[in-house]
A and B are shown apart, each in its own frame.
Chain A
Amino acid sequence: MSPSVRLQEMIRVIRGARTQGEERGVIQRECAAIRAQFRQADNGTRSHNLAKLLYVHMLGYPAHFGQMECVRLIASPRYNEKRVGYLGAMMLLDEKQDASLLITNSIKNDLSHNSQYVQSLALCTLACMGSAEMCRDLAPEIDRLLRASNSYIKKKAALCAVHIVRKVPDLGELFTPAARSLLCEKNHGVLHGAVVLITELCERNPDTLEQFRKVVPELVQIMKGLVMSGYSPEHNVAGISDPFLQVRILRLLRILGRNNDTASDAMNDLLAQVATNTDSSKTAGSAVLYETVLTVMDIKSESGLRVLAVNILGRFLLNNDRNIRYISMTSLQKIVQTDHNAVQRHRGTIVDCLKDQDASVKRRALELSLALVSAVNIRSLMKELLLFLSSCPPELRAHTTSGIFNAAERYAPSQRWHIDTILHVLTTAGGDVRDETVPNLIQLITTATELHCYTVHKLYRALITDISVQSLVQVACWCIGEYGDLLLRGECEETEPVQVTEDDVLDALETVLQSHMSSPATRGFALTATMKLSTRITHNVDRIRSIVSIYGSCIDVELQQRAVEYNALFKKYDHMRYRGSVCGAPSVIAKLPEYLLGGSGEPVPSSGLSHTVPGPATSTSGGDLLDLLGGLDVSPGE
């Protein structure tokens, strides 16, 4: 009985199970039966059982007890048993299992078998799961097969050699002569395997690469034959003669022509020919054209050819087929560093692709847009990116925000624009920004001294609208604490003035403190800001005092510590508090060391307040106060 029939019966039974539990039961019974039969002597059913076991393995059930059976079946003289055994070896065994070593001898014998199909089984298995030792043992056999066998075996031996070279790179030299001679074959399968093998050898070893540069003329000949030949029914895919082989050869030419003038010259004509003659209305033609373009951009080609290549990519970009657009953006990404201006010409189309419905296309367009940002186009491109951010899929948000920040940092035309951009991002997608955005933004605001008024007004407005975005709230609290006097003064040249009373400000900060949406870090910011305002406002100091003292018994230890210390400032050092604080916050030292930012993540500037209180005697707990201008003591939070 063919193993397939028994297998089919079992599959039918499994499919008949109506629930997952029933299926598990059926499979357990089958596995138990299989296990029992494995232990018995050969009764002609071994291959059926292994086939069943492999099916069960595909469904996800454990099948490791079949490993030794694979070894036994491979050693059997019967073809059908060998076949199932080898399949089992590929699915169940890998280098880490001891059983894999046991099949080395069987493979060796089978490689010299009379029947080419047995040889091919052995080659296939070796190529799939051969370990380094197995490869070393069997490499001479593979070399022999590469030279003297029929084309069916030669092509399999070529790919097996690729696997061997990947596992044991030193053996590459062994295969080089054979690979060279394989290029003269007519059979496309063998040619294909030979080209893959040569590609692998060249990628691994620069000396081999030098050697193979000499075969560029031969490769060009083969390509010419493929491109110019008429319709050949066996290799035709959508009007292109063996596009798979063409793509492989083009890739090899790319590797050979890189950084080498002579080789590149030899291929210029061919590439121009392929680029102009290939019909790109079907996928096969597009694949060949795409590979040609990549090759042209990578080797030292003439400028006319390069222009042709970029134009082809531009045409791809406008294609209706989404696959083609995706591919063209991928290739534009590869060349954007070297041929920046050429890609800039297509910026409009790329930005349009940001609005495409397809998530993959959007992702490519985003990467490319971020790569195209430059000092010249930063304003217009940033508008598009911000528009994209408001509607982009969630998995792309973090990447988009960090990309926008990087671009803004490098090319911001003015500080005000920079701050506006960051604020816009925080309002739209504040939940997806990196952690260091908050201290970076604070540092930026501090350095932009003439914009303090504008910034604090903007942030205040943002704060009263929405307090759910933590990063935005933290920055807003800090800003209000630091520049609250500018806010209360009410006048500002850059934005419409709004009348803000001290009560309004304290209301806003209290809302943040009490909201359940605020994280502990945000509450810390709000509390410190409230405290700082005590020196900047005149009428509501008592209100601040009461807020601060409430938090003296807060359940959050961090807040409690702060509240208690601030209370102490009110009580014991009231006279110093006001006088010292007139100095205001010192400008932040750029690039503060990590430990200063401490566990609470609160940036140092907020301890500018502590800076005004002299002496170590004021510390209640948690170590010395940070002295910015003196020695830097480590103090987590203040």
Chain B
Amino acid sequence: MIKAILIFNNHGKPRLSKFYEHYSEDTEQQIIRETFHLVSKRDENVCNFLEGGMLIGGSENKLIYRHYATLYFVFCVDSSESELGILDLIQVFVETLDKCFENVCELDLIFHVDKVHNILAEMVMGGMVLETNMNEIITQVDAQNKMEKSEFSSFFSLYRRLSFSLPGRTGRHRLVLQVPLLVPCLP
């Protein structure tokens, strides 16, 4: 079972936090800080597995992480999950995000947290892996977004439709942070 999925940047700011077990708000923040502390100490060419910190269950749980440009993707799992499988799952997740956002970068995740949650909900449900086929996931996410948009256009026809372009695309602030997220595929 996956206990938590965390995405945070190189300074420890959370970009997505999804817990599949209940913790209090304070504990959640502490877990994020502790995980960041453990993961940021690691070198670039060591293995992607770590024992979990004390708050999230100690040595029975593992942290499986990947570092892409400015973001860490961390999955905290227990012993019933295959570690290499989760490593592949992270890759599938990032590739899906890339497809959905077109050259995804950290800003996309910041400003579209709800969309990322929706995508994640199609992949992992209740702490268990639901779907791993990227095309299937994207199809479903697109269909749901269409449903949402159709509600708006019918209900809010009075309002002028704002362009649904994402902030980076209008070219207003291309920050240095916008480095393409994907590194070359797995060896």
Contacts and interface: CB of A to CB of B under 8 A. Distances in A.
A305 interface: no
B131 interface: yes
A365 to B, nearest CB: 12
Interface of B: 14, 16-18, 20, 22, 25, 28-29, 32, 43, 45-51, 82-85, 87-89, 92, 110-115, 117-118, 121, 125-133, 135-136, 140, 143-144, 147-149, 151-152, 155-156, 159, 162, 164, 167, 186-187
B186 A2 contact: no
A54 to B, nearest CB: 7
A262 interface: no
Contacts, number: 175
Interface string A237-271: 11000111001000100000000000000000000
B17 to A, nearest CB: 5
B40 to A, nearest CB: 14
A266 B127 CA distance: 32
Contacts of A62: 25
B16 A58 contact: yes
A408 B44 CA distance: 37
A322 B46 contact: yes
Given A8-B167, A282-B187, A360 B46 contact: yes
B104 to A, nearest CB: 16
A400 to B, nearest CB: 15
Contacts of B29: 60
A296 interface: no
A96 B140 CA distance: 32
Given A4-B111, A12-B111, A127-B125, 7 more contacts: A63-B25, A159-B128, A282-B186, A287-B82, A290-B84, A323-B47, A360-B49
B25 A5 contact: no
B125 A124 contact: yes
Q: Closest 10 A-B residue pairs measured CB to CB?
A: A127-B126, A287-B84, A322-B47, A94-B22, A358-B46, A60-B29, A163-B126, A244-B132, A323-B47, A326-B47
Contacts of B84: 283-284, 286-287, 290, 323, 327
A1 B46 contact: no
25 contacts: A2-B148, A2-B152, A3-B114, A4-B112, A58-B16, A58-B113, A59-B14, A62-B25, A78-B151, A87-B117, A87-B118, A117-B147, A155-B131, A189-B133, A192-B129, A196-B129, A244-B89, A251-B82, A283-B187, A287-B84, A323-B87, A326-B49, A327-B83, A358-B43, A363-B51
Contacts of B155: 78
A373 interface: no
Contact of B47 (A8, A94, A152, A358): A358
A322 B25 CA distance: 35
B186 to A, nearest CB: 5
Contacts of A237: 88, 92, 132
Contacts of A69: none
Most chain B CB neighbours (cut-off 10 Å) among A94, A152, A192, A237:
A237
B151 to A, nearest CB: 6
A146 to B, nearest CB: 15
A79 interface: yes
B147 A244 contact: no
Given A4-B114, A78-B155, A128 B126 contact: yes
B140 A243 contact: no
B88 A243 contact: yes
Contact of A242 (B114, B118, B121, B132): B132
A128 B85 contact: no
Given A4-B115, A162-B128, A58 B14 contact: yes
A62 B26 CA distance: 9
A123 B140 CA distance: 15
Contacts of B128: 127, 159, 162, 196
A80 interface: yes
B148 A244 contact: no
A357 B125 contact: no
A62 to B, nearest CB: 6
Contacts of A87: 114, 117-118, 121
Interface in A24-77: 44, 51, 54-55, 57-60, 62-63
Given A244-B88, A244-B129, A247-B82, A60 B25 contact: yes
A251 B32 CA distance: 31
Contacts of B111: 4, 7-8, 11-12
A91 B5 CA distance: 13
B114 A96 contact: no
Most chain A CB neighbours (cut-off 10 Å) among B112, B118, B144:
B144
A357 B187 contact: no
A115 B127 CA distance: 24
A238 B132 CA distance: 13
A84 B114 contact: yes
A99 interface: no
B148 A80 contact: yes
Nearest to A78: B151
A159 to B, nearest CB: 5
Contacts of A290: 82, 84
Nearest to A289: B84
Nearest to A359: B46
A484 interface: no
A15 to B, nearest CB: 7
A366 to B, nearest CB: 12
A300 interface: no
B88 A284 contact: yes
Nearest to B14: A58
Nearest to A196: B128
Given A128-B126, A360-B49, A1 B186 contact: no
A235 interface: yes
A96 B22 CA distance: 9
Given A155-B130, A357-B43, A128 B152 contact: no
